[in-house]
Each structure stands twice: as C-alpha cells, then as structure tokens.
C-alpha cells in the first residue's frame, strides 16, 4: 500500500501543486531499513521515478492541449499575436537548444512549469519522456544515495 501512496505523492508532486515526495521516500527507506528490507530501495526508486515522470507527462499534455487557448489569452490580455513565422523560429530554436532545459525538470519551483511549457511548445514526446525520466530518476537516485551515506 505504501508503494501506491509513494506513486501518488510523486505523481502529484510533479504537478504544478507545491508538494514534495522525497520526505515520504525517506520515511519508507527508514522503515525498510528497520524492517531488514535492504533491497527495498530499488522498488522505491522505480515507483517514485515512474510516478514523478507520469505527473510530468500530465503537465506536458495540459500544455500541449491548452496551447491554442493560451495563445488566444496572450493575444487578448497583452495584445501579443506572434506570426506563424515567429512561432516556427521559436520552435526551431527550442528544438535545437531549449529541449535540454528538460533536464532541469527535477528542480523545485521551475521544473514543473518547464514540463508544462514543453507541451505548449510541442517538444517531441519521445525527447520529452527520455529527458524528464532521466532527470527525475537521477534526482531520486541522489536522494537515496545521500540517505545511504547518512545511514552508515
């Protein structure tokens, strides 16, 4: 049951809501250590990484499918009406350089909006998934490694 909670918390933590899942991961690691489950961290790593990555996929989908609505609102509120040519140039620049910003998707505060904007800008989904899953998994690996170092 705690793996389901970890998945859910990691999923919600990847949304635009200001939540974190690391505290629960650490709690489960401590409980596993006390219960003699030394290899539990593998399961926790996989579940937390998947939950957090799927939460980012939700952000991506929200961005992707709200793009036209957002562009209409920007035009209404700020009188911005980027030309198709300007949008294409921005897209090309982002495809070349900006897609790497998805490696910062693990960073608190800025990471979740980056995944949303990736959907708005329509980053290729496979690129998005590989970069975000890598970043999210590396974050949880780091948390687990730091916990292991502190536990010795």
pLDDT, tens digit only, all 152 positions of the chain: 689 999 999 999 998 777 889 999 999 998 887 666 666 889 999 999 999 999 999 999 999 988 777 666 666 666 656 666 766 776 777 777 788 999 999 988 888 889 988 998 889 999 999 999 999 999 999 999 999 899 87
Predicted local distance difference test score (pLDDT) of residue 8: 94
Chain-centroid distance, C-alpha 77: 29
**Residue burial 111-121, b: 16+ Cβ < 10 Å; e: rest:** bbebbbbbbbb
Predicted local distance difference test score (pLDDT) of residue 139: 95
79 Rama class: left (phi>0) / alpha (psi -120 to 50) / beta: left
Domain range annotation of the chain: 2-151
Q: DSSP per residue over the chain, as a string?
A: -HHHHHHHHHHHHTSSS---SHHHHHHHHHHHHHTT-TTHHHHHHHHHHHHHHHHHHHHHHHHHHTHHHHHHHHHHHH-----HHHHHHHHHHHHHTGGGGGGGTTSTTTHHHHHHHHHHHT--HHHHHHHHHHHHHHHHHHHHHHHHHHH-
Chain-centroid distance, C-alpha 2: 21
């Amino acid at each position: 049951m705690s793996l389901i909670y970890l998945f859910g918390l990691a999923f919600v933590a990847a949304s635009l809501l200001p939540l974190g899942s690391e505290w629960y991961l650490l709690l489960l690691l401590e409980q596993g250590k006390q219960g003699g489950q030394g290899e539990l961290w593998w399961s926790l790593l996989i579940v937390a990484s998947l939950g957090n990555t799927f939460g980012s996929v939700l952000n991506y989908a929200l961005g992707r499918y709200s793009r036209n609505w957002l562009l209409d609102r920007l035009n209404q509120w700020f009188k911005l009406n980027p030309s198709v040519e300007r949008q294409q140039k921005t897209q090309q620049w982002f495809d070349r350089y900006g897609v790497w910003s998805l490696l910062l998707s693990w960073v608190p505060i800025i990471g979740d909006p980056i995944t949303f904007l990736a959907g708005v800008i329509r980053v290729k989904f496979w690129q998005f998934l590989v970069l975000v899953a890598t970043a999210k998994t590396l974050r949880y690996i780091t948390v687990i490694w730091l916990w292991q170092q502190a536990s010795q």
